[in-house]
Structure 1
Amino acid sequence: MRRFATLALALLALGAGPRSGFETMTPELQAMQRDDFANPGMLWVAEGEALFQRQGCTGCHTPAQMVGVAARYPVFDAGRDGPIDLAGRIAQCREQRQGAAPLPTESPEALALAAYVANQSRGLPLAPDPDPRLDPARRQGEALFRERRGQLNLSCAQCHDDNAGRRLAGSAIPEGHANGYPLYRLEWQGLGSLRRRLRSCMVGVRSEPFPPDAPEYLALEAYLAMRARGLVVETPAIRP
């Protein structure tokens, strides 16, 4: 899998379409992401694997069955009558089948489990759930992506669509794709979720972030998954 993931990342630059943030990083950071022994995110993957074993997940799921799973999320959940992301599914599974309390999205255990499961799909292309019942969430997510927010009156699209590839304060502006989460961010000195990054962006434009469990996050995740379709899963990616 590691060799395939490295090859897939190398092939990204050969075609048109969405460009991963991996391509805008320095060669040193790219090398760090490629090397499992240098990538700090692999510490969370290892912890997630241990949790997967200790918490009895293997009673229902084998690691082989996890291959390709993360590439499809968010998916439509009939019980919620709406989208659910990978972290939400893991929490739901623990609660329903193990009777365990839900894990906060940013807890070390939740991040580790999500990183381990997503890592099983590393190198595979994002293939969002085609269920048309997700269309309303995707439309809402796109509207939020293009909505101007905060005191700076900026939208996600103005940075990551209109100005992608340019530089801001000396750093390259990526297209803002979510194909590597949970990922290790040097700014955080730790692993973090997509929701954490979305909150950081909102604070960056001096906007009030949505509440932690707001449905707007799922809508944005559903749209971003469709926007990045075809890019390979990089979890755990590294970003500056």
Structure 2
Amino acid sequence: MRFVTWLLFLMLGAAVAAEPRRSGYETMSPALQQMQRDDASNPAMLSVQEGQVLWQQWNCARCHGEAGRSLRGVAARYPAFDAALGRPLNLAQRIQQCRRRDGAPVPASDSEALLSLTAFVALQSRGQPIAPPDDARLAPFVERGRALFERRIGQLNLSCAQCHEQRAGQKLGGSLIPQGHPTGYPLYRLEWQALGSLQRRLRNCASGVRAEPWALDAPELVELELYLMRRAAGMAMDAPALRP
């Protein structure tokens, strides 16, 4: 049945997504939009509270000061280039690097602890425009991310661009195909019943087209994230978001 659904999807033909760009929030139902806006109803805020506790327990303020001031706009500027490693890191990886530098236990990638602290940090940039760093060292990584976005993969021979640009706004299995802008990560997906990272979403997409998912923290995932943030430059952050 899933294969038939994808086959019908391919037969719909291309329809280039029209400007203005629309985030996943804008394409949700009014009821879900209201749930996201209400911090008492948005389930992602439970993780934010856990992240705030970790911020205090791990004494992050020792280096970064008061979160509401020092972290304003930080999440909107990641991934960013790390000179010591010679490659870009996303926000969660930056948190891991901070822990390594301090000689402290490092939370595992996509662990509840790392997602919660990332969500707390991301909340401080809510409403801020996505502003990728103007750093020439990132150029080759952005280009690789763009190539990955446009590359056909998997048994279904589909690319990210075919879904999220050519067919954005159409339906797949009854669900609206979004434009794929990463404005809300980490976010709570009702499908997952949990908070999840952009890496999780990208790995799910790879599985959906019957491709081998990249490993967590694979360079390809960071390069895709870097390109997606460039593609969404200027759009408002709404993390930690809610999505269907």
TM-score, normalised relative to structure 2: 0.90
Question: Which residue of the partner structure matches residue 53 of structure 2?
Answer: 50
- 1:214 and 2:218 equivalent? yes
Which of 147, 170, 174 pairs up with 1:143? Answer: 147
What is the alpha-carbon distance in structure 1 between the residues aligned to residue 21 and residue 137 of structure 2? 24
- 1:70 and 2:111 equivalent? no
Question: Which residue of the partner structure matches residue 104 of structure 1?
Answer: 108
- 1:174 and 2:174 equivalent? no
Which of 90, 93, 99 pairs up with 2:98? Answer: 93
SS in 1 for 2:54: helix
**Structure 1 consecutive aligned stretches of length 4 or more whose deviation exceeds 6 Å:** none
Question: Which residue of the partner structure matches residue 200 of structure 1?
Answer: 204
Q: Which amino acid aligns with 2:186?
A: P
Q: Deviations over 1:45-73 (max 9, x none)?
A: 11101100011101111211011100100
CA displacement at 1:101 relative to structure 2: 2.7
Question: Which residue of the partner structure matches residue 241 of structure 2?
Answer: 237
- 1:118 and 2:159 equivalent? no
What is the alpha-carbon distance in structure 1 between the residues aligned to residue 200 and residue 87 of structure 2? 21
Q: Which amino acid aligns with 2:31?
A: E
What is the alpha-carbon distance in structure 1 between the residues aligned to residue 236 and residue 216 of structure 2? 27
Q: Deviations over 1:75-94 (max 9, x none)?
A: 11101111111001101001
Which of 25, 49, 58 pairs up with 2:28? Answer: 25
CA displacement at 1:115 relative to structure 2: 0.2
- 1:154 and 2:158 equivalent? yes
Q: Which amino acid aligns with 2:29?
A: T
Alignment RMSD (CA, Å): 0.9
Q: Which amino acid aligns with 1:70?
A: A
SS in 2 for 1:60: helix
Q: Deviations over 1:173-214 (max 9, x none)?
A: 100111100000001000000000000000000000112231
Aligned-residue sequence identity (percent) comes to: 57
What is the alpha-carbon distance in structure 2 between the residues aligned to residue 213 and residue 164 of structure 1? 27
What is the alpha-carbon distance in structure 1 between the residues aligned to residue 20 and residue 227 of structure 2? 16
SS in 1 for 2:81: strand
Gaps in structure 1 of 5+ consecutive residues: 1-15
What is the alpha-carbon distance in structure 2 between the residues aligned to residue 192 and residue 210 of structure 1? 16
What is the alpha-carbon distance in structure 1 between the residues aligned to residue 20 and residue 220 of structure 2? 26
What is the alpha-carbon distance in structure 1 between the residues aligned to residue 105 and residue 78 of structure 2? 22
Which of 188, 191, 194 pairs up with 1:187? Answer: 191
What is the alpha-carbon distance in structure 2 between the residues aligned to residue 122 and residue 105 of structure 1? 23
CA displacement at 1:17 relative to structure 2: 3.7
TM-score, normalised relative to structure 1: 0.91
Greater Cα offset, 145-154 or 101-110 = 101-110
